[in-house]
Structure 1
């Protein structure tokens, strides 16, 4: 049987002299507080470590996602940080690049000299400096890049390195080419849209234009028929003269054919024919100017003439009860494209007529006036329609915005007119009149010098 262990029969050591139970309780409480603080600090440290790791992961994901080349160097040009784009470009891993010299990545002495000059700059701007470099690609070939070199500063504002962000020039050129192609396509689309709306406006005025063309053409045709009859009579009389008929016979034939009346009527017939042909030519030329696509053709234009042509075409296709007030005044010369300005005026007039048609119980009224100041020409078009809803005033010039029923409007007329006026250095605005109806006002820069110059294109 194993021996029993000996029991220690000595009493425990007494507590230190001078410390009672309350002191021990304080010590234990302090130890608990310290332990709790240690636990809290450990939890906070773990939380900070987790946040730091998330931040590092975020920075790493951003660097990996960058398509541009990134190089972070110290003051001596040694690489401290890179991204995946650089590693892929030069064919080396991040571990292989870290600690190597930036200049080892450059493909030619000229690039190295430019890089050293930027790195040695003692007073760089915080926005950095752009330079062109040739990096050595994975196959040893030179890869041109457009680089921005930004200085990196410590808390003491001492420069501690450089951050270089570069993009291959080929990508920049390709992006520029795509942007340029998109811009050209947008310009073509804008021109097509402008021309389409112009043709749509002209289509709505076909009846009025056809009527306006019919008058001088009918006048010319009537005169030509009369000239044809007169020519037959004169031919018979001249033939009788050549046949040697007696004076009495010629006098009788002269009276029967009414030769004196023909001779008296010929000048007026010819003058009327020429006038009708000229009116037809003027209308056709106006149509050509209106439908022209050329936007760069700028000349001196009398706004009165533009309104005259627009009123002439609009009024022919308007309702019979239209009360249109317009009286041209002194020449008001602006610099611009006559066809485009006419499109603006016609759009405003057509818009006014459409507004007045919404109140069939009252006679449609449209008033046009032109005022001139020392610097500007102001064109106002007023109507007695229902006016513009307050909610629509801020959107009335937006593309494709229209309050008309489907099939009655494209929503482009006022938008295009706004753009044309803006291109001419002017302002197109709209507001409601206190007495009812709406007012559209066009303000354009005025030219005063061409008025005294005879024969300028606006008066042709």
Structure 2
């Protein structure tokens, strides 16, 4: 009964996008399902654990939990559940910046369950982003036909909006208008303000493309009014963007100034909140959703870029050749045994372990493969160290607070100009704070504290990240920044975080040191050169 209750609560929280609250129920479900040897419940628990990791942007751990669920489901007649998990894996690979791999899993999910509308819609969105417009339209139409068959008008409205977007991007303005209009009609009939607002934003863009600025302005205003009624900040943000575009077109500078002021205030409010909450609210949206996902992909891509500088590009090819042979042979043996039962139990377990190890190696190889070059758009510019720290903490403050940890800052006065890539600085801060957070897991709530301090002189800026955790193990100072070295238990992370941190800091001509504090806990100290160029007046 307790196991059933834990699984039910996980399902409810997932349906309500309250993923941050999953942890205690997931842990209970994992423990009870293991004790009771309930394979289906264990697979469900790992599915929810993967969603929890994903909500915390721990994509590697999300994939690990999802693959464990897939392995448990092998041999069980649970095609719908397996299809849903494969769809989730596709989402995770997409977030890692590997959309082609994500698309492969969406297609597998559809093959297993042709009525998986989420996978069909996700496949359409990935195809759209790859500029494979005819295939994207075909997938959206397939999902639309399924939604119509099931009588899911709300999903149909969402899909008509998607079709409008893909046709608009492809220059088919008349067709886009038809789809946006139909989405609006359905949204109004259903009294669904969200789908109605997004359809109005699409129609505003259509009108603007035809120089019908007054009509565009009217649609944008109506969309914003719906957002205000819903008190939905993300939808309010889209409405403000659309209204700003129409104000520029009609030349209403006074209203434009007001809209831009509101946009800036809302931007600050949105980015001081939880990334997890923003991702949940951004489902079924268009431009800002893709922007958020692109930011995440950029972080992950740069993480892989840093570690390959140490490991070397050529090794991936050398590993991949024998690895393919191992994987293919292991797959073949398991496939044959599934049908003919030719392997003794202990041999099958050994082959499964071989296959699992090969998949782990394959994951590492794929992490390394795309590290070889930096995109041209990542340029070093001058930015404020304190502002970068504040932006990074805004992304994870709620996550830290959910662990009962006090997060303190003592930032020096005035701007601290440094030269580098601002998102790298944010990644540095996020990695160090998350490492500190894990070190506090076994501490009583009242003793959990992370402190960030900045200081500067005429030549250098300094950032210190201190915690009240267990401190660093003796003798690790020389190895802790090496790739694939980790002080955490096996299976919890790949040991790339601090290697990435050091690589980014060295790119900024800085240095990082670590030590234990006399009063307990670890301290990471970063020194960066001050950017001395002054703006001419």
TM-score by length of 2: 0.34
Look at both structures and tell me which one has the larger radius of gyration over its CA atoms.
1
More strand by share: 1
TM-score by length of 1: 0.39
